[in-house]
């Protein structure tokens, strides 16, 4: 997934994720608006072009024909003073609305308690957008809900619906349901899922459910939720969970009947994924934020923060959500690598394909440190690109951030057969 980047300082070369969707400068968080229009993939993401901090949020945009080589496109959405999005264009999706690509997003006017669903429309290139000045729907008349955000649109039996994450910082989360056959006319249909559901409460504990995704896999429906929790007045982003179940009629709307659930990714730096439903498969990208090993001063000095994961294909195995690298990622392989003494891998970007247990570590002999970043128990694939590590095995995927230095190197240890590929 090559993008054009400005020349980086030597200290930055080893930690930048050069093959992932990642800004040359500024802040990145949630993937948005995943779509495929006229055969071209489009990925938008939350972005502050002015610095590596979460403020002044725009929608940045990249596109690709093959999920490997990405072209930077013009900024799609930007905050404008005196409008519904003057404090930010937060997360949402893109709908091909009878031939008109339409962004359905969270327009923040005056803080997260005062956000509405905004629309913006484009032509088939998705390069120039016109935002509607009027919000479509805001908070419901429910004292248990003070914040609503992140609309996700889906269809069922020829009808178009949307879900939004909701809750309040010291209360319980909800997933709200709307009908929106006409994107300019939204009708609130009540909650699709509440904290009264014992499986949801156990699997996805939160005060606000963020960035919901709702889609069909085989005979089941799947909800993906990102967990926002209050901790003594400070918010914490506490991972991503899935729920598997059925959509059933309930009055004028629908109800989600939960059958089970679990973790989407066990990494400590993975959040706010979004799916793209294609004929025959469902793709997912997530946000990987910076880890604790990268200081605030280092982030400010470098001027960038955050990356998206590689795209993943989702499936079900015995009513468990599983993920694997998108098939197209094999196109990043440029040649085989042979690990050196003690399993040293002399590359900043590589893939490991193993048929049994492996251990991957980041070692720095000069500092006397060796940090194990991944241990698998069965067949697995591991991807390293600068400071992002993505591991796929028999359980949930694992996304983490680790920061090579001028004196460190990657070490691979395995009693199993392994193939190591350079990526580029």
Length of the chain: 424
Mean pLDDT over 329-344 rounds to: 95
Q: What is the mean pLDDT of residues 261-288?
A: 98
| Cβ-proximal residues to 233 (8 Å cutoff; 6+ apart), any chain | none
| Cα 46 to Cα 271: distance, rounded to the nearest angstrom | 13
pLDDT of amino acid 3? 46
What pLDDT score does 416 carry? 82
- Mean pLDDT of the 102-125 span: 97
Question: Band of the pLDDT at 12, cuts 50, 70, 90?
Answer: confident
- pLDDT at position 415: 77
Render pLDDT for 396-408 as a digit per residue (tens, 0 to 9). Answer: 999 999 999 999 9
Average pLDDT in the chain: 95
Q: Determine whether 30 is an active site residue.
A: yes
Q: What is the pLDDT of residues 361-386, one digit of tens each?
A: 999 999 999 999 999 999 999 999 99
What whole-number percentage of the chain has pLDDT above 70?
A: 97
Specify which residues 405 forms β-bridges with.
none
Residue whose entry in the numeric block shows the structure tokens 């290139």: 125
Considering the chain, what percentage of its residues have pLDDT values greater than 90?
94
Domains and CATH numbers, the chain: 10-329 (2.115.10.20), 331-423 (2.60.120.560)
Predicted pLDDT of residue 354: 96
Sign of the CA dihedral 347, 351, 354, 357?
A: positive
Among the options 6, 12, 30, 293, which is catalytic? 30
Task: Work out the average pLDDT over 1-20.
Answer: 66
Q: What is the pLDDT of residues 148-192, one digit of tens each?
A: 999 999 999 999 999 999 999 999 999 999 999 999 999 999 999
| pLDDT of 264 above 90 | yes
Q: If pLDDT is split at 50, 70 and 90, which confidence band does 11 have?
A: low
Residue 143 has pLDDT above 90, yes or no: yes
* Predicted confidence (pLDDT) at residue 131 exceeds the cutoff of 90: yes
DSSP letter string, 307-367: EEPPPEEEEEETTEEEEEE-GGGGGGEEEEE---GGGEE--SEEEEEESS-EEEEEEETTT
Name the band, by pLDDT with cuts 50, 70 and 90, for residue 6.
very low
| Average of per-residue pLDDT across 7-16 | 69
pLDDT exceeds 70 at position 77: yes
In this predicted structure, the answer to whether residue 13 has a pLDDT above a threshold of 90 is no
In the predicted structure, residue 9 carries a pLDDT above the cut 80: no
Average the pLDDT over 237-254 and give the result.
97
Beta strand residue intervals within 208-252, DSSP E: 208-217, 220-231, 234-250
Record the pTM.
Answer: 0.96
Q: Is residue 4 scored above 70 in pLDDT?
A: no
Instruction: Yes or no: say if 84 and 116 are a contact pair by the CB < 8 Å rule.
Output: yes
> Largest Cα–Cα distance of the chain, in whole Å?
67
């Amino acid at each position: 997934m090559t993008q054009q980047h400005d020349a980086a300082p030597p200290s930055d070369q080893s930690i930048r994720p050069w093959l992932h969707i990642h800004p040359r400068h500024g802040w990145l968080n949630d993937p948005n608006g995943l779509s495929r229009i006229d055969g071209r993939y489009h990925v938008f993401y939350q972005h502050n072009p002015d610095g590596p901090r979460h403020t002044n949020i725009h929608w940045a945009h990249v596109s690709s024909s093959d999920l490997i080589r990405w072209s930077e496109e013009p900024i799609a959405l930007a905050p404008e003073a005196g409008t519904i999005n003057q404090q930010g264009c937060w997360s949402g999706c893109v709908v091909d609305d009878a031939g008109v690509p339409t962004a359905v997003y969270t327009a923040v006017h005056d803080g997260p308690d005062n956000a509405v669903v905004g629309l913006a429309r484009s032509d088939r290139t998705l390069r120039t957008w016109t935002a509607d000045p009027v919000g479509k729907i805001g908070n419901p008349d429910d004292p248990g809900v003070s914040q609503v955000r992140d609309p996700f649109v889906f269809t069922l039996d020829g009808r178009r619906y949307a879900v939004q994450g909701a809750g309040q910082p010291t209360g319980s989360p909800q997933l709200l349901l709307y009908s929106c056959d006409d994107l300019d006319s939204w009708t609130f249909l009540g909650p699709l899922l509440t904290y009264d559901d014992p499986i949801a409460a156990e699997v996805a504990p939160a005060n606000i459910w963020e960035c919901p995704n709702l889609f069909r896999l085989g005979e089941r429906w799947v909800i993906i939720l990102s967990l926002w929790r209050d901790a003594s007045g400070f918010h914490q982003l506490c991972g991503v969970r899935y729920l598997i179940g059925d959509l059933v009629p309930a009055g004028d709307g629908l109800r989600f009947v939960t059958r089970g659930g679990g973790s989407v990714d066990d990494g400590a730096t993975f959040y706010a994924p979004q799916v793209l439903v294609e004929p025959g498969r469902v793709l997912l990208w997530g946000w990987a934020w910076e880890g604790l090993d990268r200081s605030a001063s280092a982030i400010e000095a470098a001027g960038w923060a955050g990356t998206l994961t590689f795209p993943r294909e989702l499936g079900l195995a015995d009513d468990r959500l599983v993920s694997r690298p998108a098939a197209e990622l094999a196109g990043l392989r440029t040649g085989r690598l042979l690990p050196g003494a003690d399993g040293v891998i002399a590359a900043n970007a590589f893939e490991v394909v193993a048929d049994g247990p492996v251990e991957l570590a980041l070692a720095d002999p000069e500092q006397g440190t060796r940090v194990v970043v991944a241990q698998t128990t069965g067949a697995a694939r591991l991807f390293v690109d600068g400071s992002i590590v993505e591991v796929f095995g028999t359980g949930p995927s694992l996304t983490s951030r680790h920061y090579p230095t001028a004196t460190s190197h990657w070490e691979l240890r395995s009693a199993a057969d392994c193939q190591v590929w350079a990526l580029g």
